[in-house]
Amino acid sequence: MSNSALLLFITLVLVAVMWLLALRRIVVVDGANKGLAISGALTMVALFVVDSALGMSGVLGRFERVPPNVAFFMFAHFALAAGIAFSRLGTTLMQALSYRALVGFQAFRIPTEVMIALGVAEGIAPPQLSFHGYNMDLVPAVLAALLFLSGRENRKLVLAWNGLGWITLGNIFFIAMTSFPVPFRVFMNEPTNIWVTRFPYVLLPGVLVTSAVTGHLLVTRKLRAETRAPVTPHALPSSAARQPS
């Protein structure tokens, strides 16, 4: 197993653990949400299985059609991220988790960026996708870790960080799409970006990018909700409080 693949699997385990901890949190805050937590865990398992199967099948590596299959794959995952973030599960996570937890989660992008750099060194990833090229995603990743370690819940800092994170995600999405072997390709250097269409690297856009987008959407929702009607941090109505006396 290559170093980049090994670090990818380590990062995936890290993300899965943090996701399970977040689901556990909503059960601890409100035991009535056990069903939501189970559905969230099953969603993560399904994402791993389906993306792995697609990467092994080779269907994502077919670029004879425009847009290519991988474009539908990526847009479908953005839709999935939005579906999770705006679902009942997303609302519950937004309310149960602090800004510190939501932002700190995004520190998983640090090993992700190192993994991409290893892929470049191994000759399988295009250099423009790494922090040696035009990928600035390491900046919000490091800031996420620093904000988490500081223990601060400064809303203005979170707002600025979230905006920066959206910009860097949009930037890497453009670089990734225009590095594929397609007619609208912008980056003409080799190798092309076909590595993310194959297992295990398909889990980079499939699981890791989807997780990053979901996390940013949850922070965005929390910021907007507290702008309209400030709420008590970490508070969720208990199941007992919802029961008639």
Residue range 27-62, pLDDT digits in tens: 988 787 899 999 999 999 999 999 999 999 999 999
Contacts of 53 (CB under 8 A, 6+ apart): none
Q: pLDDT tens digit string along 186-214?
A: 999 999 999 999 999 999 999 999 999 99
Written as six digits, the tokens of 32 are 């009535």
- The number of angstroms, rounded, from the C-alpha of 38 to the middle of its chain's C-alpha atoms is 19
Residue 197's closest CA among 11, 41, 27, 52? 52
Predicted pLDDT at 33: 87
Residue 13 predicted with pLDDT over 50? yes
Residue 80 predicted with pLDDT over 80? yes
Half-sphere exposure at residue 19, Cβ-oriented, CA atoms within 13 angstroms:
28
Going by pLDDT thresholds of 50, 70 and 90, the confidence category of residue 241 is very low
pTM of the model: 0.90
Q: Are 231 and 95 in contact (CB under 8 A)?
A: yes
